[in-house]
Amino acid sequence: MEGDETERAVAAIWDEYLGLGEYRSDDDFFDLGGDSLMAVMMIERLGARFGLALTGGALIGRSSLGRLAEYVRQQLSARATTAERFGPSHLLFLKPGSPSSPPLFLCHPAGGYLYFYVHLMRHLDIPGAVYGIEALGLRPTEQPLPTIEDIARHHLRQIRLIRGRGPYRLGGSSLGGMIAYEVAQQLLAMGEEVELLYMVDTPGPGQMVGPVETGAQILSGLFADVLVDRDQVVSALHGLEGDPEKQIEHIVQQVHSRGQGWRIPPHLGRHIIDMVKTHVAAMRSYQPKPYPGFLLFFRPTEMMVDYPGHAEMAWLPLATKGANVYTVPGDHLTVNMEPNVRVISTHLQRYVAELSKD
C-alpha cells in the first residue's frame, strides 16, 4: 500500500481486526466491516502501539485510514512539543481545515468527553479546522476543576497551544456553552477578539438545571443517545444506587448490547461520576457577567425533565450586541444528534461564511 510509515502501521493494526490485507487512504473502518466493539479494541491497540492515550473520540470524523493516521501524527507531534511544558494534552483534533481560516474550538459538556459533537462533525462544512477540549478529571489521577472560571482557564491553555492570537471562534452544548462564554470573557479581558460564540441549550441563572446527586442520573445521561429504553435502564441503575461499580458494570453491558461499545470511555469509573457532580455544581454557582459581543443560541423544540424550557432567557439580557436564537427539533440531548443537528450546522456555516466576507 501507499502512504508513510505511520499510515502503514495503522493499516497493519486494522488488518488484525479486518483481515483484508490491502488498504487505501480513503478506506473507512466501518465501511470495511468494522463494528463498534472492534473499533474500541482497535483504538486501544493503536494507543499501545504509539504510546498515546487515545479514546473513542479519536474516530470522530476520522474513521478513514488516512485521516486516522494523520491524527496519530498530530498527537505524536503535540506530545513531543508540549508534554514537558504543559503535561497531558486534553485537546482533540476533530476536523481538518485551512490554516488561513480561524479554527472553531468546542468546549466539553458535563460528561467531560466530546461525543456530543460526533454528529455535528459529519455535517459541519466550514473552512477552518475544528478542535475540542476534554475535561480535567477524565483520568483517575486528575482532579476535576470546581468552578467555571477554572474550567475556562484550562480550555484557554489548550486553545492557546493551537492559536496564540485572535480572532477566536468558540462554542459548545449544554455546559460546553457556558464554558465557551467564560473563555470568551477571559480572551476579551486579554485584549483578544472573539468573532463567534454559540451555545446549544445552555442553562443559566434563572433557567438552571436541578442538582445532580445520583449515579443513575449521571450514567444514564452520559449514554442517553444510545439508550432507547432509557426509563428501564434508569430504573435498574436506581436499584444499584450506593454501589457505583455495579452501576458502571450495568451501563457498560447495556451500551455494548446496543453495538455502541466505542462510546465507553477508557477510564470509566467512579471518578467520572464525581466529576459530573462537580461540573453541575460549578454550573449552578456560576454568575456570568454581561458579554460585550454577539451571541448565537440554539434552543430545542421539546421539553425534557429537569431542564429549563427557555434557557436562552438567561443569556439574552447579557449579550450587549444582540443575539440570534434558532429553534432546533428535539430535546436537550437529541438536538445534538441526527437529523436535528443539521439545523445547527446549517446556521453555523452561514454565520461563518458571513464572517469570511468581512
Ordered DSSP codes for 322-347: -EEEEEESS-TTGGGSTTTHHHHHHH
Q: What is the pTM of this model?
A: 0.76
How many whole angstroms separate alpha carbon 283 and alpha carbon 203? 8
Is 95 in a helix, a strand, or coil?
strand
What DSSP string describes 150-178? HHHHHHHHHHHHH-SSS-EEEEEETHHHH
CA–CA distance, 18 with 35 (Å, rounded to integer): 10
Quick one: what percent of the chain has pLDDT higher than 70? 92
C-alpha cell at 268: 470509566
| pLDDT score for 306 | 75
The answer to whether the beta carbons of residues 92 and 98 sit under 8 Å apart is no
Question: How many of the other CB atoms lie within 10 Å of CB of 300?
Answer: 22
Residue 222's alpha-carbon distances to 36, 134, 150, 214, in angstroms, are 17, 14, 22, 13
Query: pLDDT band at 229, cuts 50/70/90?
Result: confident
Residue 86: per-residue pLDDT: 38
Does residue 157 carry a pLDDT above 70? Answer: yes
Q: Return mean pLDDT, the chain.
A: 86
Of 327, 199, 209, whose CA–CA distance to 277 is shortest? 209
In 3D space, the residue among 165, 189, 206, 235 whose CA is nearest the CA of residue 312 turns out to be 206
Using one digit for the tens of pLDDT, what is the confidence trace for 164-179?
888 999 999 999 999 9
| Integer Cα distance of 246 and 299 in angstroms | 35
Q: Which of 29-33, 284-288, 303-307 has the lowest mean pLDDT?
A: 303-307
Tens-place pLDDT, residues 310-344: 999 999 999 999 999 999 999 998 899 889 999 99
